[in-house]
Amino acid sequence: MNLAAPADGVKLTDSQRLDWLRLIRSENIGPRTFRAVLNHCGSARAAIAALPDLARRGGAKAPGRICTAAEAEQEMETARRQGSVFVALGEPDYPARLRVIDDAPPLLAVRGKLDVLKSPMAAIVGSRNASAAGAKFAAQMANELGAAGFVTVSGLARGIDAAAHRASLEFGTVAVLAGGQDRIYPPEHNDLLAKILERGAAVSEMPFGWEPRARDFPRRNRLISGMSLGVLVVEAARRSGSLITARMALEQGREVFAVPGSPLDPRCEGTNELLKQGANLVTGVDDILSVIEPIAGRPAELPIEEPEQEAQMFTDGPAADERSRIIGLLGPTPVDIDDLIRLSGARPAIVRTVLLELEIAGKLHRQAGGRVALLG
Amino acid sequence: MNLAAPADGVKLTDSQRLDWLRLIRSENIGPRTFRAVLNHCGSARAAIAALPDLARRGGAKAPGRICTAAEAEQEMETARRQGSVFVALGEPDYPARLRVIDDAPPLLAVRGKLDVLKSPMAAIVGSRNASAAGAKFAAQMANELGAAGFVTVSGLARGIDAAAHRASLEFGTVAVLAGGQDRIYPPEHNDLLAKILERGAAVSEMPFGWEPRARDFPRRNRLISGMSLGVLVVEAARRSGSLITARMALEQGREVFAVPGSPLDPRCEGTNELLKQGANLVTGVDDILSVIEPIAGRPAELPIEEPEQEAQMFTDGPAADERSRIIGLLGPTPVDIDDLIRLSGARPAIVRTVLLELEIAGKLHRQAGGRVALLG
């Protein structure tokens, strides 16, 4: 089974989709753990059945809460009434570029026109308290990207985000939400969202009813960059959310673009810093198109993953001494899984199983680039 | 005799200085031809004596006008009364970095404090119709460069130039003029110049009484960049003089710095373009210092020149067939002198002599990087 595409190009059955929803809504299951446990157990249904045992072996005092079938059905029903559908990783409607990021959401709740997710996309992000010039420039870029066949992705925030969405309504634009599909932030953008949905879409990985908290915005930002060929940062103060999106774009191998601005304007500190670090300098849409047009035609590249030859053959659990040897190598400082395998002398499948158990027990954090750390 | 330093570290006698002034003020003698003919003839006095014959052999219908001893004495006297001194290329007071450019002026008329020319320098240039923010930023950089031990060089123009000079008066600042020392442009900057001269200097290669014309400003700009370790362009429209200074800085191997600005402000088009081309992005003085401080301590590098072993041994003029063969290889498209030597099969000294004759006859233009072209 290919980890990167659990249901490559094939639609899930309703029953599979429900299992996927249950699994991703269960405690201690994030996108990376979802992939690992799906790979380990072969299906979401088998994974759900295995969770209590895996958590116990990982040393959980009490197993994490599992989303019930009734709860998942309830969320499905709420979604349908509200006009959202769940698109699974690997299904034809799932955004092609997003599919290949390390922590791609197994399910996206999508409202609006699904087709728009098949277009090549470019993100435009920036300050909430944008200058008039910044907002105008963002609008100009969004509109010209649209005319050139690129869908603008942004975060529905005030300022730059809203300007970019508004200027590209006619081409279809994608808003990525930090909360559930029924928890729009900021609330005054409900009208804008309604216009977006006419030709574009709103996307969320969060459960219905989820009120976005501060930490959900950086998490959401990885989807904005992940769906896009590149991210244009129009105005950004130092330590702003837009810079997080830019950093994620780099980690995901996406292009980063920044608009230059006066050193005397604090709203340009972050963008100028990006330029110093090598971001593409943008004074017109051609500066973006010249970079993303050549790559738009290429298929999204799958990250290189180790083949999982052993996974199918290995059915025994790890022996107690192997488990404790592996756990002994872990600590709060992230380590490479490859190093763990080498240092422990255990078979890769054994190491992966121990890590999965710890993850499901809520004791391990899996980071970008195949690194893991024990949680305090 | 070393071309790059006709009087390396040694002061000229009064009589030599007068000869140098006569030679550089004579028709068809620019800085590059000055070097070539000085090298060919051994001294300025011998060169002056040889000019009519060289011009005749170069095919001049009438030889170019030679500045008389009386005229040169008159200019010397005017300079002295006005408080200017003539500093010759290679003398201790001549700016160290300027000395090594391809077309360094043989003589500089300097007013003010000569000592300031020995400090490491950085140029600040930009729009005449600067924005308030641009002028403020230029002032800030000039002041902070001064505090860090760097003398600010600029062109005494309105806008950015004036802001940079004003903010660095206390450290000594250098104004490079496009006209003669007695023809200040713009005239309303006479007061500013008076303040500059208290601790800094004004420099000109042009004759006394020379009213600056449009084409003298780009010519002057090579001195601004040539004296400096690097050039900061603060605001510059497309096709502005500041971009010429930046181009010259690149040709001279100097660092180019640019301040980012809004793509919607035409005053930032040129600077943003420089950044796209790889100029160092500046949002604070550290962005400049981190680049120029490490190179400030190094001696100015002399451009690599071919050794002139033959020059002393060769006394015969070129034969008529050699001369016509070399001239036949020339045209309005610039060619490398090295290619001419190779293609003509003539000795390097012969080729150089023919070129010098053509130059003095006003028929040849010598460009940067050892390239020559016939004038229409």
pTM: predicted TM-score of the whole model, two decimal places: 0.86
How many other β-carbons are positioned within 10 Å of the β-carbon of residue B324? Answer: 11
- Of the CA atoms within 13 Å of residue B128, those in its CB half-sphere come to 9
Cβ B137–A263 below 8 Å, yes or no?
yes
Written in H, E and C, the secondary structure of B141-188 is HHHHHHHCCCEEEECCCCCHHHHHHHHCHHHCEEEECCCCCCCCCCHH
pLDDT(B307) > 50: no
Q: Which pLDDT band, with edges at 50, 70 and 90, does B25 fall under?
A: very high
Residue type at B300 in one-letter notation: A
Residue of chain A minimizing CA distance to B271: A260
A326 and A340 Cβ atoms separated by less than 8 Å? yes
| Higher pLDDT pick, B199 / B347 | B199
In angstroms, the CA B36 to CA B29 distance is 10
pLDDT digits (tens, 9 = 90+) for B106-152: 999 999 999 999 999 999 999 999 999 999 999 999 999 999 999 99
**Can you list the positions of beta strands (E) in A236-334?**
255-258, 280-281
Token pair of B370 as six digits: 């050892």
Residue of chain A minimizing CA distance to B261: A261
Residue by residue, DSSP assigns B278-305 as TPEE-SSHHHHHHHHHHHHTSPPPPPP-
Nearest to B272 among A136, A276, A283 (CB): A283
A346 and A322 Cβ atoms separated by less than 8 Å? yes
Three-class DSSP category at B134 = helix
Token pair of A164 as six digits: 């970019």
Per CB-CB distance under 8 Å, the chain B contacts of A124 are none
Residue type at A259 in one-letter notation: V
Residue of chain A minimizing CA distance to B284: A263
pLDDT at B309: 45
Per CB-CB distance under 8 Å, the chain B contacts of A283 are 263, 269, 272-273, 276
Q: What is the DSSP letter of B116?
A: G
Q: What angle do CA B102, B105, B110 make, to 5 degrees?
A: 140
pLDDT(B6) > 60: no
Beta bridge partner(s), residue A129: none
pLDDT(B306) > 70: no
pLDDT at A309: 45
Per CB-CB distance under 8 Å, the chain A contacts of B260 are 260-263, 268, 272, 275, 281
Phi, psi of A180 (to 5 degrees): -70, 165
In angstroms, the CA A111 to CA A201 distance is 5
Q: Which residue numbers of A have CB closer than 8 Å to B's CBs?
A: 133, 136-137, 259-265, 268-269, 272-273, 275-276, 281-284, 287
Residue type at A304 in one-letter notation: I
> What is the dihedral sign for C-alpha B249, B254, B259, B262?
positive
B206 and B178 Cβ atoms separated by less than 8 Å? yes
Average confidence (pLDDT) over B335-355 = 90
Three-class DSSP category at B204 = strand
A149: alpha, beta or left, given left = phi > 0 and alpha = psi -120 to 50? Answer: left
In angstroms, the CA A18 to CA B67 distance is 97
Beta bridge partner(s), residue B231: B123, B256
pLDDT at A303: 52
pLDDT at A321: 86
Buried b (16+ CB within 10 A) or exposed e, A274-293: bbbeebbbbbebebbbebbe
| Sequential pLDDT tens for chain A (376 residues) | 334 345 567 899 999 999 999 999 999 999 999 999 999 999 999 999 999 999 999 988 888 899 999 999 999 999 999 999 999 999 999 999 999 998 999 999 999 999 999 999 999 999 999 999 999 999 999 999 999 999 999 999 999 999 999 999 999 999 999 999 999 999 999 999 999 999 999 999 999 999 999 999 999 999 999 999 999 999 999 989 999 999 999 999 999 999 999 999 999 999 999 999 999 999 999 999 999 999 998 877 655 444 444 444 445 678 888 888 899 889 988 999 999 998 888 899 899 999 999 999 989 988 877 899 998 7
Considering just the CA atoms, what is the radius of gyration of chain B in Å?
21
**Mean pLDDT over each residue of chain B, to the nearest integer:** 91
Residue of chain B minimizing CA distance to A261: B261
